[in-house]
């Protein structure tokens, strides 16, 4: 769920403009949307009914519905045309259609909606039930109230009225989808609510409301999203959009157990969909429900053992859960089938750890020995290897330091031991001593920078990274490290919403981009600058000191070209996020102008671009 309050305010303005345009169109007799085609095929015969009754019921409902709807808005596809096609295909006119048949017929007649319905003939009369489904998305469906009457024609008339009533939500729902497509969250919400008001039992308009709320931010949004999703599920219990909306809302509300229930409920709606299962397992994992994710991913791997993506997810989840036997199963499989895993020294480190925790010390040392052999310059692997050897002989490190007192690698290992015991300051001192003995020690400066970050000294860490470049450290590793830390700081700033936190993240990202510019670093720098602008503008409105507010507004102005350049750089690989952020960025110009006027006493001509 994302969008700025500023964006919501502007979107409301678009809503009123849209309503005015719509009113003008209606006055001129111009349809807002193209005529929709509604396909009604033979009803499925239920208890006491046969295929002939299924065709009769479909014909009767089709005829009566045609008299209830606005023919300019909806074309109820003629039953004679359907029967003509059946005749040409050599199929009986009383055929009960499968979903694939309905889609094929709908495609031929260019239908936009179709009715899935059944008819029963019981001792108490005729009973009709079904649902209206949109062709463009089969999950946009509206269950219809069941009707019954002693006579078939009476039941048909009642059912036709229910169909016509359900369609009153469709025009507002299409407005909702169009607003979402244009990035206007508030009008989308307003139009979806109008659809619900038009048809209180709505599931289709409510589904669009779920989509709109998922793209909106605010403290009240998760609770509303949960309420709307549950309202859909009360009518359509297997609606995947509503289930996902509820799961997302519960994650946001930190109701982890309930969220996990919903994610697993979503998985059950399409158990054959591997991509959906993978996405759900990831949502569970990221939402702190790795325990609940484990049975799901195990089942997926058992069904698709050759899918490396699933095996990787099994590895991550079982390792997180400390399910060491299953983690080892996944790790060993990846060792055979995944070249990316074999090329990652951290993989050997973690797999060695899993063996150790599973009380298989010889396999642990064997795996780490293999890793050390493949990655002889990776201090992490050697450090863990030494730790496990030390479990067999506690004297390995003291003996090593006695034999090699000038060994920077052993001093670094000692530093790692101190860090493992929580003695970060001492570990930092030991790392610096190791680096003083060997200024060329690979990743030595990065070890120091990492400890400084853990001690809450980001400015010192950034200075250390600059020294790393000056002393010839691998620039790609330094850039990757700086970008990773900048990304972490940026995510943290998204939580605090403080301009100073965004600015700190931007310094790390800018440094990384200076060392090794990539599309990701440029785009992330633009996103961080955008965060500075948003948070600084918000802070400026809350301060009583006009001078400080002016400074924040000017600071925001300085960040505008930085944000714009960076966001444009991500338009290819991060198209959706870049487009959305650039649209919000454009909407901030008048707020900058107002801030410069209100806090800095500057009056800018209309259309002039604020300068720093």
Dihedral angle computed from the Cα positions of residues 207, 213, 219 and 224, in that order, rounded to the nearest 10 degrees: -20
Contact in structure between 592 and 537 (CB atoms under 8 Å): yes
For range 559-577, the mean pLDDT: 89
pLDDT at 3: 34
User: Residue 17 contacts by C-beta under 8 Å, 6 or more apart in sequence?
Assistant: none
pLDDT digits (tens, 9 = 90+) for 295-326: 999 999 999 999 999 999 999 999 999 999 99
Q: Which residue has the higher pLDDT, 439 or 191?
A: 191
Count of C-beta atoms within a 10 Å radius of residue 64: 19
- Cα 76 from chain centre: 38
Contacts of 66 (CB under 8 A, 6+ apart): 76
- Confidence check: pLDDT of 16 > 70: no
The DSSP code sequence of 368-384 is HHHHHHH-TT-HHHHHH
pLDDT over 50 at 607, yes or no: no
- How would you write 256-274 as a 3-class SS string? HHHHHHHHHHHHHCCCCCH
Indicate whether 485 pLDDT > 60.
yes
Q: Give me the long-range contacts of 192-197 (CB less than 8 A, separation at least 24).
A: 195/168, 195/169, 195/170, 195/171, 196/169
**Could you tell me the pLDDT band of residue 244, with boundaries at 50, 70 and 90?**
very high
> How much of the chain, in percent, has pLDDT values that exceed 70?
92
Largest pairwise CA distance in the chain: 101
- What pLDDT does 411 receive? 80
**Continuous segment of H or E residues that includes residue 128:** strand 125-134
496 vs 509: CA distance, rounded Å: 18
Res. 604: pLDDT tops 70: no
Strands 125-134 and 137-149, sheet pairing:
antiparallel
- What is the distance between the alpha carbons of residues 247 and 254, in angstroms, rounded to a whole number? 10
Is 327's pLDDT higher than 90? yes
Closest-CA residue to 40 (of 19, 55, 29): 55
Residue 196 has a pLDDT of 97
- Cβ pair 278, 294 in contact under 8 A: no
Q: How far apart are the first and last CA of the chain?
A: 32
Angle at 18 between CA 13 and CA 21, to 5 degrees: 130
Lowest mean pLDDT among 16-30, 144-158, 271-285, 485-499: 16-30
Torsion from C-alpha of 490, 492, 493, 497, nearest 10 degrees: 150
Helix (H) or strand (E) holding 492: helix 475-496
The C-alpha atoms of residue 365 and residue 577 are separated, in whole angstroms, by 45
> Residue range 489-502: average pLDDT?
92
Q: What is the pLDDT of residue 10?
A: 28
More confident residue, 419 or 293: 293
């Amino acid at each position: 769920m994302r969008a700025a309050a500023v964006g919501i305010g502007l979107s409301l303005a678009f809503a009123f403009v849209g309503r005015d345009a719509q009113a003008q169109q209606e006055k001129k007799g111009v349809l807002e949307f193209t005529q929709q085609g509604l396909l009604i095929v033979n009803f499925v015969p239920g208890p006491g009914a046969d295929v002939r009754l299924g065709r009769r019921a479909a014909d009767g409902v089709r005829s009566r519905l045609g008299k209830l709807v606005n023919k300019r808005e909806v074309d109820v596809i003629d039953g004679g045309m359907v029967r003509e096609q059946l005749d040409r295909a050599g199929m009986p006119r009383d055929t009960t259609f499968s979903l694939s048949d309905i889609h094929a017929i709908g495609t031929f007649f260019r239908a936009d909606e179709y009715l899935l319905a059944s008819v029963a003939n019981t001792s108490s009369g005729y009973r009709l039930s079904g649902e209206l489904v949109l062709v463009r998305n089969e999950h946009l469906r509206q269950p219809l109230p069941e009707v019954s009457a002693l006579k078939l024609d009476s039941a048909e008339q009642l059912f036709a009225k229910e169909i016509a009533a359900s369609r009153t939500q469709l025009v507002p729902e299409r407005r909702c989808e169009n607003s979402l497509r244009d990035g206007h969250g508030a009008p989308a919400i307003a139009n979806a609510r109008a659809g619900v008001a038009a048809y209180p039992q709505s599931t289709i308009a409510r589904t669009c409301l779920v989509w709109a709320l998922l793209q909106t931010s605010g403290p009240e949004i998760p609770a509303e999203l949960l309420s709307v999703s549950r309202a859909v599920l009360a009518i359509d219990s297997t609606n995947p959009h509503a289930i996902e909306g509820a799961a997302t809302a519960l994650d946001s509300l930190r109701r982890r157990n309930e969220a996990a229930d919903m994610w697993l409920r979503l998985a059950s709606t399409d158990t054959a969909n591997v991509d959906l299962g993978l996405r759900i397992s990831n949502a569970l994992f990221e939402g702190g429900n790795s325990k609940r994710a484990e049975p799901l991913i195990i089942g997926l791997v058992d069904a698709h053992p050759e899918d490396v993506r699933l095996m990787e997810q099994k590895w991550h989840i079982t390792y997180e859960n400390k399910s060491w036997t299953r983690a080892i199963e996944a790790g060993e499989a990846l060792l055979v089938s995944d070249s990316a895993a074999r090329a990652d020294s951290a993989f050997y480190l973690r797999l060695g750890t899993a063996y150790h925790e599973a009380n298989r010390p010889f396999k642990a040392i064997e795996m780490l020995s293999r890793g050390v052999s493949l990655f002889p310059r990776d201090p992490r692997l050697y450090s863990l290897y030494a730790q496990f050897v030390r479990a067999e002989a506690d004297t390995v490190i003291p003996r090593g330091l006695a034999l090699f007192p000038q060994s920077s690698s052993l001093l670094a290992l000692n530093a790692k031991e101190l860090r493992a015991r929580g003695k970060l300051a001492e570990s930092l001192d030991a790392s610096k001593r190791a680096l003083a003995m060997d200024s060329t020690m690979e990743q030595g400066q990065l070890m120091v920078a990492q400890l400084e970050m853990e001690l809450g000294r980001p400015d010192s860490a950034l200075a250390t990274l600059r020294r790393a470049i000056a002393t010839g450290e691998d620039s790609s590793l330094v850039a990757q490290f700086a970008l990773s830390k900048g990304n972490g700081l940026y995510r943290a700033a998204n939580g605090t919403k403080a301009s100073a936190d965004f600015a700190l993240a931007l310094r790390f990202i800018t440094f990384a981009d200076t060392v090794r510019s990539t599309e990701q670093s440029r785009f992330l720098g633009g996103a961080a600058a955008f965060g500075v602008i948003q948070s600084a503008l918000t802070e400026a409105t809350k301060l009583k000191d006009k001078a400080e507010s002016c400074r924040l507004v000017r600071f925001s102005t300085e960040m505008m070209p930085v944000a714009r350049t960076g966001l444009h750089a991500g338009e290819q690989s991060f198209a959706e996020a870049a487009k959305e952020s650039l649209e919000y960025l454009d909407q901030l110009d008048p707020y900058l102008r107002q801030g410069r006027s209100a806090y800095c006493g500057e009056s800018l001509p209309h259309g002039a671009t604020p300068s720093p």
